[in-house]
């Protein structure tokens, strides 16, 4: 091998912007800080226009390609997204083996990094003789801990987790009520549950686990995982990896209409500092019709200024039919309560389907974020010092909400049932309250400092990634 060739890594991203964005940021950081180039591989069958546009917008140091499509038509109708991703991954091993083998001929391929629904791809890396295999967790140490324990919990908890009498207490983690655990764990008869156990059981095959979190937001579990433990790969907290320059990278912002983008930022320009609560449920979250109504009336009742990314409601589960595409299929505004738009026009601004979230959170008029607690949204909020109201919907969002509210105290979680009075009260408390609200605002200011500290030269996240990369160089000798 010629030592002159640049080090190269291959990453496999499972579908969803929440997976692609942090992996792409990791790739960019590897290039800018360490001169490492990347091939980012995505699945074809489950790829959306938004994802394709995003991949096409990446800098030259990050090449992207799609695996050949896989026929999933034999699967029963209505399979969970986790099942589809897992099936697609398992069936893509031969194609991926071929791709890795070819890449290895022309590149100094130092590592293969798989997203956490893609661990079957480790087989392809082994087949192709790639030396190191890493697992990437796009969320946090709480989720990683749960999954590391899942194979044993699968045996020790015979019934459904939601029927557990006590919250699940895992080492270093906030106690999580069974019904708040990762959504594919909620129904053991669903194939997606088996798939999660399967993936989790392969986590220990990784040479190391890279996590998109930072110690300050979950300090106790960070301390637990910092200890080396036989049989558990070393864990590196390399976050927060968040979308940095939304304007120049385009990507996620190319698909949605640029018109609403400019206008919501213009509107923010005219609002007082820290006066607006931003309301958004990620790239795929949709509320049931009833909740959407209560939210509208609650925002109105709060008297608070708000910027709301409105999506059409969904009464068949929290993931809308546009999980893969950011656009609402129908006009979402028709689902709002009668007269709401007119009555709130002086204090509220509505955006259909998609807003340039990072720009909104960066804006000084934004003082709060009512969020579904998707991990990217959470990190973006913390990095920009915006306190949160937690309204989780699916995936690991409920357990994120628990760790953020009951755990570290960076959010106020909306209690059940979600009435307009309750929503108004919590929103007001977050923005201006002297009790919980004040404590949360103080904690978020601290976490913002810690997050930025970690990303600096010599900071914890930077050092963790440098330590990983150093091993690649050593392997070359």
Residues 6+ apart with CB under 8 A from 370: 277, 278, 279, 280, 388, 389, 391, 427
Q: Which is nearer to ligand UDP, 42 or 99 (CB)?
A: 42
Taking the C-alpha atoms of residue 211 and residue 245, their distance in angstroms, rounded to an integer, is 21
Please choose, from the candidates 224, 202, 228, the residue with its C-alpha nearest in 3D space to the C-alpha of residue 215.
224
Residue 377 makes contact with ligand UDP by CB under 6 A: yes
Taking the C-alpha atoms of residue 174 and residue 196, their distance in angstroms, rounded to an integer, is 21
Stretch that binds ligand UDP, among 113-121, 259-267, 276-284, 328-336 (CB under 6 A): 276-284
CB of 239 vs ligand UDP, minimal distance in Å: 12
- 349 close to 341: Cβ distance less than 8 angstroms: no
- 252 close to 50: Cβ distance less than 8 angstroms: yes
Q: Which is nearer to ligand UDP, 20 or 208 (CB)?
A: 20
Half-sphere exposure of 122 (CA within 13 A, CB side): 20
Residue 284 makes contact with ligand UDP by CB under 6 A: yes
Taking the C-alpha atoms of residue 224 and residue 228, their distance in angstroms, rounded to an integer, is 9
Which residue in 184, 240, 251, 282 binds ligand UDP (CB under 6 A)?
Answer: 282
CB of 163 vs ligand UDP, minimal distance in Å: 27
Q: Which is nearer to ligand UDP, 33 or 247 (CB)?
A: 247
* Token code pair at residue 291: 């909740």
Taking the C-alpha atoms of residue 264 and residue 272, their distance in angstroms, rounded to an integer, is 14
Q: Which is nearer to ligand UDP, 271 or 283 (CB)?
A: 283
Residue 280 makes contact with ligand UDP by CB under 6 A: yes
Taking the C-alpha atoms of residue 362 and residue 91, their distance in angstroms, rounded to an integer, is 41
Residue 20 makes contact with ligand UDP by CB under 6 A: no
User: What is the β-pairing status of strands 348-352 and 305-310?
Assistant: parallel
Residue 193 makes contact with ligand UDP by CB under 6 A: no
* Token code pair at residue 437: 């609200």
Which residue in 374, 392, 407, 437 binds ligand UDP (CB under 6 A)?
Answer: 374
Taking the C-alpha atoms of residue 302 and residue 147, their distance in angstroms, rounded to an integer, is 39
Q: Which is nearer to ligand UDP, 180 or 380 (CB)?
A: 380
Residue 388 makes contact with ligand UDP by CB under 6 A: no
Instruction: Give 378: exposed, middle or buried? Use CB within 10 Å, 0-12, 13-18, 19+.
Output: buried
Residue 184 makes contact with ligand UDP by CB under 6 A: no
* Token code pair at residue 167: 């919250």
Give one word for 398, left, alpha or beta, with left for phi > 0 and alpha for psi -120 to 50.
Answer: alpha
Please choose, from the candidates 383, 384, 406, the residue with its C-alpha nearest in 3D space to the C-alpha of residue 392.
406
Residue 358 makes contact with ligand UDP by CB under 6 A: yes
Which residue in 376, 381, 400, 405 binds ligand UDP (CB under 6 A)?
Answer: 376
Residue 403 makes contact with ligand UDP by CB under 6 A: no
If binding means CB under 6 A, how many residues of this protein chain bind ligand UDP? 22
Per-residue contact string for residues 114-133; x = within reach of ligand UDP by CB under 6 A: --------------------
CB of 248 vs ligand UDP, minimal distance in Å: 14
| SS3 (DSSP) at 73 | coil
CB of 153 vs ligand UDP, minimal distance in Å: 25
CB of 103 vs ligand UDP, minimal distance in Å: 28
Per-residue contact string for residues 310-349; x = within reach of ligand UDP by CB under 6 A: ----------------------------------------
Taking the C-alpha atoms of residue 104 and residue 106, their distance in angstroms, rounded to an integer, is 6
Stretch that binds ligand UDP, among 59-67, 84-92, 376-384, 467-475 (CB under 6 A): 376-384
Neighbouring C-beta atoms of residue 360, cutoff 10 Å: 25
Per-residue contact string for residues 232-271; x = within reach of ligand UDP by CB under 6 A: -----------x--------x-------------------
Report how far Cα 453 is from the mean position of its chain's Cα atoms.
Answer: 21
Please choose, from the candidates 85, 169, 51, 67, the residue with its C-alpha nearest in 3D space to the C-alpha of residue 124.
67
CB of 110 vs ligand UDP, minimal distance in Å: 28
Q: Which is nearer to ligand UDP, 393 or 469 (CB)?
A: 393
CB of 20 vs ligand UDP, minimal distance in Å: 9
**What is the number of the residue whose Cβ is closest to ligand UDP?**
374
CB of 282 vs ligand UDP, minimal distance in Å: 3
CB of 95 vs ligand UDP, minimal distance in Å: 26
CB of 242 vs ligand UDP, minimal distance in Å: 7
Q: Please calculate the CA angle 368-372-377 and round it to the nearest 5 degrees.
A: 65
Residue 375 makes contact with ligand UDP by CB under 6 A: yes
SS3 sequence, 327-352? CCCCCHHHHCCCCHHHHCCCCEEEEE
CB of 373 vs ligand UDP, minimal distance in Å: 8
Q: Which is nearer to ligand UDP, 32 or 244 (CB)?
A: 244
Q: Which is nearer to ligand UDP, 209 or 309 (CB)?
A: 309
Which residues of the chain form contacts with ligand UDP (CB under 6 A)?
A: 16-18, 21, 243, 252, 280, 282-285, 309, 354-358, 374-377, 380
């Amino acid at each position: 091998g010629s030592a002159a060739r640049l080090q190269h890594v291959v990453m496999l991203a499972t579908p969803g912007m929440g997976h692609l964005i942090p992996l792409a940021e990791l790739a960019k950081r590897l290039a800018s800080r360490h001169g490492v180039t990347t091939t980012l591989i995505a699945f074809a069958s489950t790829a959306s226009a938004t994802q394709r546009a995003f991949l096409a917008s990446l800098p030259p140091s990050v090449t992207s390609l799609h695996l050949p499509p896989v026929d999933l038509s034999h699967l029963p109708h209505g399979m969970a997204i986790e099942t589809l991703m897992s099936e697609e991954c398992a069936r893509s091993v031969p194609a991926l083996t071929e791709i890795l083998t070819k890449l290895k001929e022309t590149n100094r391929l130092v590592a293969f990094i798989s997203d956490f629904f893609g661990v079957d791809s480790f087989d392809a890396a082994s087949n192709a003789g790639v030396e190191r295999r890493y697992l990437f967790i796009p969320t946090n140490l709480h989720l990683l801990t749960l999954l590391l324990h899942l194979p044993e919990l699968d045996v020790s908890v015979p019934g459904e987790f939601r029927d557990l009498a006590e919250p699940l207490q895992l080492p270093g983690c906030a106690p999580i009520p069974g019904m708040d655990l990762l959504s594919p764990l909620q129904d053991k008869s669903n194939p997606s549950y088996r798939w999660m156990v399967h993936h989790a059981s392969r986590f220990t095959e990784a040479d190391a686990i890279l996590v998109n979190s930072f110690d300050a937001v979950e300090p106790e579990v960070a301390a637990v995982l910092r200890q080396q433990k036989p049989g558990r790969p070393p864990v590196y907290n390399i976050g927060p990896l968040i979308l940095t320059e939304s304007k120049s990278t385009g990507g996620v912002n190319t698909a949605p209409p640029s018109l609403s983008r400019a206008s919501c930022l213009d509107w923010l320009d005219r609002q007082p500092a820290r006066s607006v609560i931003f309301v958004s449920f990620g790239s795929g979250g949709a509320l049931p019709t009833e909740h959407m109504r209560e939210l509208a009336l609650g925002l109105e009742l709060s008297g608070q200024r708000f910027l709301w990314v409105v999506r059409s409601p969904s009464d068949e589960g929290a993931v809308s039919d546009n999980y893969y595409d950011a656009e609402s299929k129908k006009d979402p505004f028709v689902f709002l309560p009668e007269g709401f738009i007119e009555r709130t026009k002086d204090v509220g601004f509505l955006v259909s389907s998609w807003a340039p979230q990072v720009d909104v959170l960066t804006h000084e008029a934004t003082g709060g974020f009512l969020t579904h607690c998707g991990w990217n949204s959470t990190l973006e909020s913390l990095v920009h010092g915006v306190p949160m109201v937690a309204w989780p919907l699916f995936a690991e969002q409920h357990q994120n909400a628990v760790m953020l509210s009951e755990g570290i105290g960076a959010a106020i979680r909306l209690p059940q049932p979600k009435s307009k009075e309750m929503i108004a009260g919590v929103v007001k408390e977050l923005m201006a309250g002297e009790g919980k609200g004040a404590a949360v605002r103080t904690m978020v200011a601290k976490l913002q400092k810690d997050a930025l500290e970690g990303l600096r030269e010599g900071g914890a996240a930077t050092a963790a990634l440098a330590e990983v990369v150093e091993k690649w160089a050593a392997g070359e000798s």
